[in-house]
Structure 1
């Protein structure tokens, strides 16, 4: 009787686990398509650029589900199976996807997929802000020589304490480099369509250059330069367009601030005459609203474009529409 009940109990646990895993993956991934270059991407901006450059020659599969924040997401077994059968695996690198090394080790032995870190060539930002999850912590040695120390407010520049800021794509200047790496990787695995990839990349590059020029022109006009944000995701944007970023949390949106940090930020907001605290849609706005209430100011969205919400997907939003909204909110806040 006991053994029968035990078997039944284990069966129910296994069934529940299968249902949970199926539910978690309902909006992510996809199936391999024969006759096309299958490209697996780790999160939204890379997925969008790969689709635009790849066009009809590419079948893109994005691992990250809609509405999910990427910092602490991890892949499923089906993601490993799909990636093993793909031609390209595109990930940001710079420490964003801490699961990538083990993921690549788990691929089928006969897999011919090429893994490409699309942040290669970007002058990476180093900061002493630890997120508690080792994001950006020492897994990108080949980037180290080009890194700079930006965005660290405490002044501690000891080598072992520095972390890489992985949020490269938030600046159109860096996004342009990433798009170039994606184009090159597609041409490498599918030289037959090299010219088509180049042509579509050129169109995307023109749009990114226009967006970059608009950010430069418009942000040069505003008198304010200080922004207070939910988590430290805007270092590249701040560096490239002359802003100063002050973050409530660290490199990850779940790195809780200390009480004295909140007090210091509230004082900064009052001293600098800052009118808005920026929050994000994919993470809780609790701390941003708490700080705004304490300082007597309002809140606005500043989107790190790490992924789309369900509503944004329904509205056909993309990297460009979200970055345009970011620019308008920055202009409003910095007047």
Structure 2
């Protein structure tokens, strides 16, 4: 009887171990491919463009998730710890990564900041410039002098190219036997980004009006690359609300310079923009910061490249 109980105990223990393993998903030992976790859509697309079918790429944040508000769950951290490579955009976008590192064995899981070689724009410098633009004069800014870097680096195709190169280097380092494959795919995608960059340059080269008004201050890198000026209703976060003073300044600015369009995102943060547009009798159009694509957009085959082309079409109705 005692021997039987011992045997049952051993079987149950083995069953628990097996079930626990089943719940873990694919691990490095179960697949010859690199297991790569990416944070949100642009990072996922850039990684997929390089890796092709030589790696299993997972996007941590589900379609429709707001990246600014995201915090990883224990399950997410477990997924990351079982991957070969974890790739994120920047410490200024995924602010939680710094604390995550204490939970990850970096000898087992390589962590890549895809923007480590890119110079960030300080949001306060950007907003001071916009404030001067609104007031049409130099004056002291009410914004804090504390650095708060704008994380929307991928909206400049040149920055996107730099991110792709960094991702490619990491994949090659971790999987050198497929170097030629990764290099070929990297060059193909870089060529597409170069063409995108040229489309933007050509469109805005001789523009006389180079200012555009947005709901979300996400387009500083794009504006800087092409000599444009972004005037934003709110700040870096899409759900940030503007002060009454800024709304009043914007109303004055819109009337003074005959602004006819406000660019918004298709979410609740557009309410204030719609209200301002109604009060000033101007149009509202979409401009996508590509922080994530919806499930429908992904199913319809939309990509970073296609959405950037859509943004160009929208911008050239104002910047002309």
| Residues 1:75 and 2:72 are matched in the alignment | yes
Equivalent residue in structure 2 for 1:116, among 95, 104, 112: 112
CA distance in 2 between counterparts of 1:115 and 1:121 reads 15
RMSD: 1.9
| Residues 1:64 and 2:49 are matched in the alignment | no
Q: Which residue of 1 aligns with 2:234?
A: 249
SS class of match (2:67): coil
User: 8 Å contact 2:239–2:269 — kept in the other structure?
Assistant: no
CA distance in 2 between counterparts of 1:162 and 1:276 reads 30
Q: State the Cα deviation string for residues 15-34 of structure 1 (Å, max 9, x = none).
A: xxxxxxxxxxxxxxx85562
User: 8 Å contact 1:305–1:319 — kept in the other structure?
Assistant: yes
Matches within 5 A, 1:39-188: 39-107=36-104, 109=105, 112-128=108-124, 149-153=125-129, 154=131, 156=141, 160-188=145-173
Q: 5+ unaligned residues in a row in structure 1: which ranges?
A: 1-29, 129-148
Q: Which residue of 2 aligns with 1:324?
A: 309
User: 8 Å contact 1:127–1:150 — kept in the other structure?
Assistant: yes
Q: 1:87 to 1:230 in 2, by over 3 A?
A: same
Equivalent residue in structure 2 for 1:209, among 194, 197, 202: 194
CA distance in 2 between counterparts of 1:31 and 1:299 reads 45
Matches within 5 A, 1:301-312: 301-312=286-297
User: 8 Å contact 1:69–1:283 — kept in the other structure?
Assistant: no
CA distance in 1 between counterparts of 2:237 and 2:286 reads 17
User: 8 Å contact 2:156–2:225 — kept in the other structure?
Assistant: yes
Q: TM-score, normalising length from structure 1? A: 0.81
Deviates more, 1:75-84 or 1:149-158: 149-158
Equivalent residue in structure 2 for 1:279, among 244, 264, 283: 264
Alpha-carbon distance, 1:209 to partner: 0.4
Q: State the Cα deviation string for residues 287-329 of structure 1 (Å, max 9, x = none).
A: 1101111211000111001100232122110001100000000
Alpha-carbon distance, 1:224 to partner: 1.6
CA distance in 2 between counterparts of 1:185 and 1:49 reads 13
Runs in 1 of length 4+ with deviation above 4 angstroms?
30-33, 154-160
Matches within 5 A, 1:224-239: 224-239=209-224
Q: State the Cα deviation string for residues 110-160 of structure 1 (Å, max 9, x = none).
A: 8611111111221211121xxxxxxxxxxxxxxxxxxxx445334649995
Alpha-carbon distance, 1:333 to partner: 2.2
User: 8 Å contact 2:85–2:111 — kept in the other structure?
Assistant: yes
Alpha-carbon distance, 1:161 to partner: 1.8
Q: 1:299 to 1:182 in 2, by over 3 A?
A: same
| Largest Rg, 1 or 2 | 2
SS class of match (1:56): coil
Q: TM-score, normalising length from structure 2? A: 0.84
CA distance in 1 between counterparts of 2:309 and 2:248 reads 32
Q: Would you say how many aligned residue pairs link Structure 1 and Structure 2?
A: 285
CA distance in 1 between counterparts of 2:142 and 2:57 reads 40
Q: 1:152 to 1:180 in 2, by over 3 A?
A: farther
